[in-house]
Structure 1
Amino acid sequence: MRARSFGATGISVPVIGQGTWRMDETGRAASIAALRAGIDAGMTHIDTAEMYDDAESIVAEAIAGLREEVFLVSKVVPGNATRRGVVRACEASLRRLKTDRLDSYLLHWPGHHPLEETIAGFEDLRRDGKILSWGLSNFDVEDLDAALRIAGPYRIACNQVIYHLGERAIEHAVLPWCARNGVALVGYSPFGSGEFPDPSSAGGRVLAGIAEAHDTTPYGVALAFLTRLDNTFTIPKTVRASRALENAAAADIRLNAAEIALIDAHFPRGPRPRTLPML
């Protein structure tokens, strides 16, 4: 599994990991089997959150006996993001995940509590060994600048944002900001949450042609495109073990310049939006 440094942590993390949003809505046994298949295939970056209902307990069962192999990430909702609230929320996630630490802990999106409090809570957790790093999610450049002013350089491990072929807004400013400041860019919903290109469309046919050249699927091509840059990661979710193996195999796909240009032409990033898209 191809891996790269996860922002300021210096830890080598697979470019393709595993998301768990809405995983609790499907069969528990199948979800656990898919996560384990992904881990076995090298997708050891597991992302979850306190607001994902039962997903943390599913993850706990999936990583039982494998904790040392996993880069485990969870997220706190903004409503809990006071200094003390961050600590309480993290401790609750640790109990559900049946672990003593998180490799990274993220603020799920900007909220109304002062960011100074949230970051102080993160630093309390880091000092106590309950998290090894912290990061952000759904933060646009203005919010990232604010976090950087508070925390100082090389404290923000990552920024997790929506990123798929049909939604490339982060390439305008957020992705370059992260690259300049040593922050990992983690793209969620890489298949567009049910909006993956139709096979009969022009873009779908382009993906199919590239997929055939690399002995993969259009989904594999999408993952390869989204992780083509040095500080990018992605966390597709699946509840099928077979799809987990397909996702993992995409880490070894290296698109050439002509293929990247062709994808770029059929899935342009478009104009920069006024606000950062998010789910």
Structure 2
Amino acid sequence: MPRLGLGVWKTSNTDAAQSVSQAIQHGYRLIDTAKQYGNEPGVGAGIQDGLLQTGLNRKDLFVTTKVLNDDQGYDSTLRAFEASLKQLRLHYVDLYLIHWPVDGRFIDTWRALEELYRNGQIRAIGISNFDRDRLSELLDKTSITPVINQMEFNPLNQEKDIRQLMQLAGIQLEAWSPLGGGEALNNLVITKLAAKYQRSAAQIILRWDYQQGIVVIPKSTHVKRIIENSQLGDFELSDEDVAAIQALDQGKRGLWYDDFTWHNPTNPQAIAGGIETWDDTAKFLQK
């Protein structure tokens, strides 16, 4: 799995098609999307165009998508996976994730992922946004260990508790929102390091992730930033500077379970309620 990829959260289908194609043309090989984002068709179009422009083959890319919350459950997950393949215009995905652990359903959802994996329809299976308790339950009740836990992770939110369990279980951390928005990018420690190394604040954070072995999927729809975010191989942060960024941890999450009611399937509200989606698929497909 590549260590750096393109994320497309909050990206329209049109922008996703353009940014995915541009990312592939500029060396990205990992593309991360989800049904919740409502842009799988755009991502699929971008993949096809990127392959056409570069002469690469499908096997050269690593494509991830995720199970929507209200698709969770054994049979519904199997159906959702087939629908995602059609939207992406692919015959398989490299990594399929449970997007959020819906209580009372994520074990059955995981068993569906295990079946898809054993049948060769997915190259790897993993999870996203699992806290320590839910990850422990999954490990106790299922037979295949997730390869990935994709979590909100950045200098201000380093999830040290869950990372300890993941390391013991051999689960790779993949960071969504790795740049932490404006607050992390404008942090005085980060901006001073950017001046020291003559790099952007984003490059400093992404290099910090890279040196810790973390997979990152920064989102951008701007070609200049897509290119800039990938230019991490020709400098290295000192151990002292890595430690300075690690000291910024505040456990400051942008999203977590307390923000939503959907994770309890007995709640009268819809399971997907509380999570905004950005779906312009119908409009995109009419073009």
Please classify the TM superposition score into its range, dividing by the shorter chain length.
0.7 to 0.9
| TM superposition shift of 1:187 | 0.7
| TM superposition shift of 1:214 | 3.1
CA distance in 2, matches of 1:208, 1:59: 33
Matching residue of 1:47: 32
**Correspondence list, 1:218-229, <5 A:** 218-229=201-212
Matching residue of 2:249: 268
1:72–1:270: structure 2 CA closer, same or farther, 3 Å change rule? closer
| TM superposition shift of 1:252 | 4.8
CA distance in 1, matches of 2:60, 2:258: 33
Backbone CA RMSD of aligned residues: 2.4
1:207–1:270: structure 2 CA closer, same or farther, 3 Å change rule? same
The count of corresponding residues between Structure 1 and Structure 2 is 251
**Correspondence list, 1:174-213, <5 A:** 174-198=162-186, 203-204=187-188, 206-213=189-196
**Correspondence list, 1:49-88, <5 A:** 49-53=34-38, 55-64=39-48, 65=51, 66-88=57-79
Please give the per-residue CA displacement for 1:126-162, whole angstroms capped at 9, x wherever unaligned.
1332211111111011111111112236x31110110
User: Which letter does structure 2 place at the counterpart of 1:207?
Assistant: I
Matching residue of 2:140: 149
User: Which letter does structure 2 place at the counterpart of 1:218?
Assistant: A
CA distance in 2, matches of 1:186, 1:253: 22
Matching residue of 2:285: none
| TM superposition shift of 1:245 | 0.6
Q: Percent identity?
A: 27
Q: Say which of 80, 91, 94 aligns to 2:85.
A: 94
| TM superposition shift of 1:194 | 4.4
User: Which letter does structure 1 place at the counterpart of 2:229?
Assistant: N
1:114 correspondence with 2:97: no
1:250 correspondence with 2:232: yes
Asked if the contact 1:37–1:241 (Cα under 8 Å) also holds between the matched residues in 2, the reply is yes
SS, match of residue 106 in structure 1: strand
Matching residue of 1:130: 121
Please give the per-residue CA displacement for 1:30-81, whole angstroms capped at 9, x wherever unaligned.
543332332233321111001111x211111111135222111100023211
User: Which letter does structure 1 place at the counterpart of 2:111?
Assistant: A
CA distance in 2, matches of 1:85, 1:219: 39
1:238 correspondence with 2:224: no
1:160 correspondence with 2:150: yes
User: Which letter does structure 2 place at the counterpart of 1:38?
Assistant: A
Structure 1 residue runs without a partner (length 5+): 1-12
Asked if the contact 2:185–2:202 (Cα under 8 Å) also holds between the matched residues in 1, the reply is no
CA distance in 1, matches of 2:240, 2:203: 17
User: Which letter does structure 2 place at the counterpart of 1:63?
Assistant: I
Structure 2 residue runs without a partner (length 5+): 52-56, 260-274, 276-287
Asked if the contact 1:75–1:106 (Cα under 8 Å) also holds between the matched residues in 2, the reply is yes
Matching residue of 1:6: none
Asked if the contact 1:221–1:253 (Cα under 8 Å) also holds between the matched residues in 2, the reply is no
1:99–1:181: structure 2 CA closer, same or farther, 3 Å change rule? same
CA distance in 2, matches of 1:128, 1:78: 23
User: Which letter does structure 1 place at the counterpart of 2:244?
Assistant: L
CA distance in 1, matches of 2:220, 2:5: 11
- TM-score of the superposed pair, with normalisation by structure 1: 0.81
Asked if the contact 1:48–1:73 (Cα under 8 Å) also holds between the matched residues in 2, the reply is yes
CA distance in 2, matches of 1:135, 1:182: 12
| TM superposition shift of 1:84 | 0.7
| TM superposition shift of 1:106 | 0.6
